[in-house]
Amino acid sequence: MTSDKKRSKGKPDGMPIYLIAAIVAIAVLSVAFHIHVPLISIIRGSIYAVLIVILLILYIDSIKEKDRYSSRITEIFIGTVMVSLPGVLLLRTDFMPLLLTGVVFTTVLLKKEAGIFYTIIQFLFLYASNLASLEESIFLLVTGILISLLTVYRVNFIQLIYKVALVLSFDVIMLLINSNFVVTDFLNLHSLLTLSAVLAAIVLGETIGDFYLKRLNEAAVQDKTLSKKPTVEEVIKEDFALCRMLKESDKLYEHSRQIAMIAEQAAAVAGLDKSIAKAGGLYHEIGKLKGKDYVAEGLALAKTYQLPDAVTNIIASHNLKSDKPTSPEGALVMFTVSLVAAKDYFLADKKEEQTKEELVELMEKFTGNLFTMRLEKESLMNSGLTIKQYIQLKKFFLNYFTQMEATIDTEY
């Protein structure tokens, strides 16, 4: 408890200068021992590298704690150096691009800016130390920056293929330039090994970074379990661990964000708790990240991440499969989910001869029937929804899904 308070109130944890100096010194001595280069070149490159490292520290200390794993910066930096060692040991060979493994690892864990910083460190050290030619150094610089810009929090297979294809395309162009556009000079074993090393660096960096990221998230969940239960306002923040997990699926995140936005607007109209409505909309289908039985999986995640009871009930009751709403906000989210699903269905099933007005009439009829059915089947009996709030919500949704110039015109 004490350490958590210190971490939250004090200056974000950085990396001690003496530790950085020790790491850099070890790396420099390793390179000097492995490859015979003039001592003055090693010193010159090391000074450039240290200056960039100091800039990296200043950058890390300037960003908000929520954007990084502040207590793990030293550990991550040491890991970056370690995963770069294969490239260090293979300097002046076709496998030098394995240095980029550390760039990918850093970017996955600390954001793209840290990966770009580390790329510049490598570029200055290699070129200033005469450990790589200008062409080789620029190749690593451009490739490292491109990889950093394309690396997201956690990639899926399609995103990884896209990134690899784009990076290799840039690399092929640079290798052609280095070959003075002579195709016969480009088509050789050197080019093949270089491109293979870049590919290996991306895959290894992503794999190791993703593995370590899971460890950090598991540790964060355990720490959260030991701390106080998060408030509704905390769980709807983008840096909340479960929200970061939700972003792993672009499609699910966009759908959930839409439900959350509509539910929040409806809550404001009916005088309900906007934060609960937004949180319920955001996490109502979170279980789809884990399996087909997404309600059960969602409830398990809600327990793990200690979501407030009001939000947990919305996960269970948004489609009435597991439970009925026990709050007005739960009823609100249930209506929102059903109406958005109906709108999507009508759009997908739209016939060519159907006009916009006919689609609007379908939504108007469905909205009226839905509210009547939920009332008649006593789905709202435990929700605490008043007659006034029921009428306000019905008017809101009728207006939202049938207003010609606002929602319908942009959605259809």
CA dist list (Å): 62 to 14, 110, 117, 316, 352: 10, 13, 15, 41, 55
Angle at 292 between CA 289 and CA 296, to 5 degrees: 80
Q: What is the reported pTM?
A: 0.47
pLDDT digits (tens, 9 = 90+) for 346-373: 877 766 666 777 778 888 888 889 899 9
Mean pLDDT over each residue of the chain, to the nearest integer? 78
| Residues 180-190, mean pLDDT to the nearest whole number | 83
What local confidence, expressed as pLDDT, does residue 279 receive? Answer: 94
What local confidence, expressed as pLDDT, does residue 133 receive? Answer: 83
Q: Hey, what amino acid is at 293?
A: D
| Residues 19-25, mean pLDDT to the nearest whole number | 55
What local confidence, expressed as pLDDT, does residue 358 receive? Answer: 79
Give the span between the Cα atoms of 398 and 412, in whole angstroms.
16
* 23-37, 77-91, 276-290, 364-378, range with the lowest pLDDT: 23-37
Would you say residue 405 has pLDDT above 50?
no
Number of H helices, E strands in the chain: 20, 0
* 5-9, 58-62, 101-105, range with the lowest pLDDT: 5-9
Cβ atoms within 10 Å of 122's Cβ, excluding its own: 25
Give percent of the chain above pLDDT 90.
18
Q: At 158, is the pLDDT very low, low, confident or very high (cuts 50, 70, 90)?
A: confident
Task: Indicate the burial class of 357 (C-beta count within 10 angstroms; 0-12, 13-18, 19 or more).
Answer: exposed
In this structure, the chain runs to a length of: 412
Task: Locate 360 and state its tokens.
Answer: 């609007």
Task: Locate 291 and state its tokens.
Answer: 């399996």
Give the span between the Cα atoms of 3 and 24, in whole angstroms.
29
Whether the CA torsion 214, 215, 216, 217 is positive or negative: it is positive
